[in-house]
A and B are shown apart, each in its own frame.
Chain A
Amino acid sequence: MRKRKDLFWYLLFVLPLTLVFISVVIIPFFMGIGYSFFSWDGMPLNPKIYVSFENYIKLFSDERFITSAYHTLYYTVLAVVVINILGFAFALIVTSKLKLRNLGRTMLFMPYLIGGLILGYIWKFIFSDMMRSLGEMTGMTDIFFNWLTDPDLALLAIVIVSTWQMAGYVMIIYITGIQSIPEDVIEAGKVDGAGFWHLLVHIKLPMIMQSITICLFLTLSMSFKIFDVNFSLTGGGPNNATEMFAMNIYNEIFSLNNYGYGQAKAMIFFIIVAVITLVQVAITKKKEVSM
């Protein structure tokens, strides 16, 4: 009798969320695996043709997809490095003895709250019309011209915008790390005559390794999955020169109507993202044990 009652309460608490979750995440995931073996244009009335692994084989000779992979890799490496260096530098400044540090922290974090889509549009103005107008004003047309029409600079523009968005975010995580360093360790270092760089490299950095790992992988997987800024700032252009993974998948499915093939790309995308994240978890866990 009691058992039955417990089961009732258990299901009442757990089932609503679980059912929604299954219909939104689990079923689509397995259906996605299925779709990736078919050729289909997305029209409900048109036939889905089973093509076995053909979609996956086609991927490796799809130049646009390979190029988008290359863009993503290039962008990710640059973005991860720049975001983390800047974010860490911000964190160092904001944890110093400056009186205005809290105001500064508030200001530096703000861009993160404005979504990637709107940020992209704001910077679109800066990189296109404002750059051009600055060029006319200063005469330095080598630097100040519409960056978004240049394939390399357009990609760099995306790095700059993501940095602007994310630096404040990783700053917050680094601050938590820096504040957890015991005060006396720093003091002891200072007494022993350690300068700024020595303190930084030999004391602070080793003591916030966990924050560094978290930030690196967080920015890594976020950069890898970038879509919104890509969509609004460059739209993948000029000539697909800045189209990245997520956008390539989106275009393959919803613009070119290759639902099956696009889904195969999406599965590969999943595998890469999963591997990155699992490596992160493994590393973070190991660090915790050794500490």
Chain B
Amino acid sequence: MKKTVKIFAEIGFIVLCMIYLSPIYIVITNAFKNRAELYENMLSLPNHLDFIYFAEAMEKMNIINAFKNSFIVTVASLFVIVILASMAAWMIVRVDHMFSRVLFMVFVATMLIPFQTLMMPLMQVMSSMSRATGLPFINSLSGLVYMNLGFGASMAVFLYHGFIKAIPRSLEEAAVIDGCNKFRVFWKIVFPLLKPVTVTVMILDMIWIWNDFLLPSLVLSDKKLRTIPLSTASFFGQFTIQWNMAMAGLLLAILPIIIFYIAAQKYIIKGVASGAVK
């Protein structure tokens, strides 16, 4: 008797979870239907698997190019954020003087500023920096990476700072006596110890940067530079919506995230949990 109740509870629970994810089912099933079939019943499974809408959506959204851009921006941003923020945080913790403390406070305090407050002046600053230096801060992937580094700095420094404080100095001091310079001490000894925070920072920033829409939409005006959210938005802005093709497009847009999530879910959930609680 008790056993059947248990089994029903398990089944009920999973059914609940599946209902919760039904919007994703709706995207998948309708991506394969033609227009008539879609309007006939939006909840049914497709009669046959039609891949032509994927092909069309891929072409209209230029999804391969968008994926490439998203990938470059995300990986490059994570790389520079992790390297520069961990280095800065280490020095801020280890060299404990006035300047370090003020700097840390500024990093933390600016986490209060919403993006909308900065977006317009930021674009002005970036275009004057482009004019002054001749470097492409505006309308280039590297410019976007530069801005992601600026916006990601605060949280990354904050997370690294909290972790480094708990690491004893003695390890580093032994290396200094052995004649290592600071650069080597950091990369050989300190950075490997920071791995848990590095994973957290990477997960949190990846979710943010991969899905970011507003900043890239202001920075990247060239069609060829569009990231996945940008090409999705322009796809929906351009045509009167043909939903079957749109569903195929949306499925392509979320597929990379879902695959990545299935592969790395343990780290992702852990990273999000430890990032939020701090």
Contact = CB atoms under 8 A, between A and B. Distances in A.
Interface residues of B, number: 82
Nearest to B149: A20
Contacts, number: 239
B214 interface: yes
A98 B10 contact: yes
A68 B14 CA distance: 39
Given A13-B182, A173-B276, A214-B277, A122 B146 contact: no
B198 to A, nearest CB: 15
B121 A28 contact: yes
Interface residues of A, number: 84
A263 B121 contact: yes
B17 A262 contact: no
A88 interface: no
Contacts of A246: 114, 116
Contact of A14 (B88, B119, B272): B88
A126 to B, nearest CB: 6
Contacts of B189: none
Given A17-B149, A110-B21, A214-B276, A125 B269 contact: no
Interface string A12-35: 111011101101111111011001
Given A10-B91, A13-B182, A24-B146, A118 B114 contact: no
A137 interface: yes
> Interface of chain A, helix or strand or loop or mixed?
helix
B261 interface: yes
A14 B247 CA distance: 46
B149 A277 contact: no
B121 A228 contact: no
A228 B236 CA distance: 14
Given A18-B103, A21-B153, A24-B150, A118 B116 contact: no
A75 B85 CA distance: 36
Contacts of B229: 115, 117-118
Interface in B91-119: 91-92, 95, 103, 106-107, 110-119
A108 B22 CA distance: 11
Interface stretch (B50-58, B122-130, B163-171): B122-130
Which 9 A/B pairs are nearest by Cβ-Cβ distance? A24-B150, A115-B211, A28-B121, A31-B121, A17-B84, A13-B91, A28-B122, A270-B117, A9-B182
18 contacts: A13-B186, A14-B88, A16-B88, A17-B87, A20-B153, A24-B125, A24-B149, A25-B150, A107-B21, A110-B261, A116-B213, A118-B232, A118-B254, A125-B27, A125-B30, A133-B41, A259-B120, A267-B117
Interface of A: 6, 9-10, 12-14, 16-18, 20-21, 23-29, 31-32, 35, 42, 93, 98-101, 103-118, 121-123, 125-126, 129-130, 133-134, 137, 164, 169, 172-173, 175-176, 211, 214, 218, 225, 227-228, 231-232, 245-246, 249-250, 253-254, 259, 262-263, 266-267, 269-270, 273-274, 277-278
